[in-house]
């Protein structure tokens, strides 16, 4: 009986020792001691990833805010030059008279509007032809023909107009080209209280940014 009790004590001591001994790493330190630093490193990496994502979202929000606050609108005309054209080839119409150019997206040297931000824009073109003179022009988006404007009246002058809503990317261009062998007639009425800024205009406005 005493021998059995002694064996039981030895066995319990062996099990207790097995429970308190841990495997060692190559540097002689128990692996259990290295678990906490590994956990801390993983946590720091996750926190760094979350912080990077938050900064990216913050930057995107700033961009969206800037786009939403962007204001773009222009209205330009020929300004009473009399006949404009004809030419033996299609030409981009340069409207020198600026009534409005909020955002400075219309270039008075080239006649070209360049979208400062992506979004939805509304454009209109109003042209006037003289008697027995055909007035044919085309609104372009980049290199694509979008809208045709035509006016011809055998009995006298006539107006032609068109308007479109376009979805543009930043850097897209919009302009008007007078087709070959066509005329525009523009006149400024200086009669007091009945004046005008001309009869031929090109207009655009940003409806909303995207």
Identify whether 174 is part of a domain: yes
Choose the final residue of a domain: 39, 69, 99.
Answer: 69
Is pTM beyond 0.85 here? Answer: no
For the cut 80, the answer to whether the pLDDT of residue 38 exceeds it is no
- Give per-residue pLDDT as tens, 81-132: 788 889 999 999 999 999 999 999 999 999 999 999 999 999 999 998 877 7
Does a cis peptide bond (omega within 30 degrees of 0) precede residue 86?
A: yes
Residue spans of beta strands (DSSP E) within 19-90? 73-77, 82-84
123, 34: one domain: no
Residue ranges in 86-179 assigned as alpha helix (H): none
Identify whether 132 is part of a domain: yes
* Cα 11 off chain centre by: 78
Q: Supply the pLDDT for residue 8.
A: 42
44, 148: one domain: no
Q: Which of 119, 178, 121 is nearest to 148 (CA)?
A: 178
42, 146: one domain: no
Phi-psi region of 104 (alpha: psi -120 to 50; beta: other; left: phi over 0): left
Identify whether 51 is part of a domain: yes
For the cut 80, the answer to whether the pLDDT of residue 49 exceeds it is no
CB 43 within 8 A of CB 161: no
Identify whether 42 is part of a domain: yes
199, 175: one domain: yes
DSSP assignment of 144-174, as one string?
Answer: EEEEEEEE--TTS-EEEEEEEEEEE-TT-EE
58, 79: one domain: no
Q: Which two tokens stand for residue 114?
A: 């360049």
- Domain around 65: 23-69
56, 114: one domain: no
114, 159: one domain: yes
Q: Supply the pLDDT for residue 79.
A: 80
Q: How far apart are CA 180 and CA 86, in angstroms?
A: 7
101, 202: one domain: yes
Confidence of residue 64 (pLDDT cuts 50, 70, 90): low
**CATH of residue 163:** 2.60.120.40
- Give per-residue pLDDT as tens, 179-199: 999 989 887 666 554 445 678
46, 119: one domain: no
Q: How many domains does the chain have?
A: 2
Alpha-carbon dihedral angle through residues 4, 5, 10, 16, given to the nearest 10 degrees:
130
102, 184: one domain: yes
Identify whether 4 is part of a domain: no
84, 157: one domain: yes
């Amino acid at each position: 009986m005493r021998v059995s009790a002694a064996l039981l004590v030895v066995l319990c001591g062996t099990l207790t020792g097995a429970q308190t001994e841990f495997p060692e790493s190559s540097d002689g330190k128990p692996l259990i001691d290295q678990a906490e630093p590994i956990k801390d490193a993983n946590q720091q990496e996750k926190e760094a990833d979350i912080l990077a994502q938050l900064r990216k979202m913050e930057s995107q929000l700033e961009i969206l805010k800037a786009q939403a606050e962007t204001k773009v609108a222009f209205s330009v005309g020929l300004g009473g030059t009399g006949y404009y054209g004809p030419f033996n080839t299609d030409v981009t119409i340069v409207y020198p008279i600026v009534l409005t150019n909020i955002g400075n997206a219309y270039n008075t040297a080239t006649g070209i509007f360049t979208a400062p931000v992506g979004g939805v824009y509304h454009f209109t073109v109003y042209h006037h032809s003289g008697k027995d003179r055909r007035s044919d022009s085309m609104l372009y988006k980049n290199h694509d023909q979008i809208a045709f404007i035509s006016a011809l009246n055998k009995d006298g002058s006539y107006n032609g107009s068109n308007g479109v809503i376009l979805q543009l990317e930043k850097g897209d261009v919009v302009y008007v080209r007078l087709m070959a062998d066509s005329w525009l007639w523009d006149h400024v009425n200086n009669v007091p209280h009945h004046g005008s800024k001309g009869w031929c205009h090109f207009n655009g406005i940003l409806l909303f940014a995207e």
